[in-house]
Amino acid sequence: MPRILIAYSTRKGDSKRIAEAVAGGVKRTGVETVITEASEELDGSAFDFVFVGSEVHGGAFGEPARLFLDENKWEGRQLAVFACHYGDKEALGRVVEELSRRKARVVNSLNVQAGSPWNVVGAGKKLSEEDLIRAAGFGERTVNNAFNFRVKKSCEKRRISGYVK
């Protein structure tokens, strides 16, 4: 069975909540999953598949996730990335482009609007139950596709259909 790593960096806790939901979806496939905060010392090569996620601040992934991506060799490796953004929808695309330039195979991505500048004054969007359901479906569907697992029953396909890319 493949081993899956879910590495995330978070400031406000939103990426951690999304990472936990992704892990819940991955675990439904029966695959061994390790979830941890990203750091430059973390070795991604010890895993068969890696999810990397972060909150986006100042137009980029948080520093721990950026360092984790920079310090590991991704050439020929399969990855999936997720981002919790606060208005900068294009930040995840820039991360995917950078990984592609480094010859990584980004098989899926999830972009979640976790908030807006208005959150500072108590208004604006916050993570919803729908966001967490999408994250769980993202995790499950990504692993199913990456390892060619078959979802046999149509009721199972409908169960993960809450994920819409």
Query: 3-9 and 32-37: which strand pairing?
Result: parallel
Transcribe 74-113 into DSSP letters: -TT-EEEEEEEESS-TTHHHHHHHHHHHTT-EEEEEEEEE
Higher pLDDT, 48 or 156: 48
Higher pLDDT, 86 or 85: 85
- Band (158; pLDDT cuts 50, 70, 90): low
Phi, psi of 85 (to 5 degrees): -110, 160
Q: Is pLDDT at 151 greater than 80 in this prediction?
A: no
Q: For the chain, which residues make up each domain, given as ranges?
A: 3-162
Its CATH class, for the domain covering 3-162, is alpha beta
Q: Looking at residue 72, what DSSP letter applies?
A: S
Which tens digits make up the pLDDT trace of 40-67? 999 999 999 999 999 887 778 889 999 9
- Band (165; pLDDT cuts 50, 70, 90): very low
Output the CA–CA distances (angstroms, integers) from residue 52 to 4, 37, 89, 122, 160, in the order listed.
11, 10, 17, 29, 21
Which tens digits make up the pLDDT trace of 11-41? 888 999 999 999 999 999 999 899 999 999 9
Phi, psi of 56 (to 5 degrees): -100, 120
- The total number of residues written for the chain in this structure: 165
The whole-angstrom separation of Cα 55 and Cα 86 is 8
pLDDT at 162: 54
Which tens digits make up the pLDDT trace of 99-133? 999 999 999 999 998 766 555 444 456 788 999 99
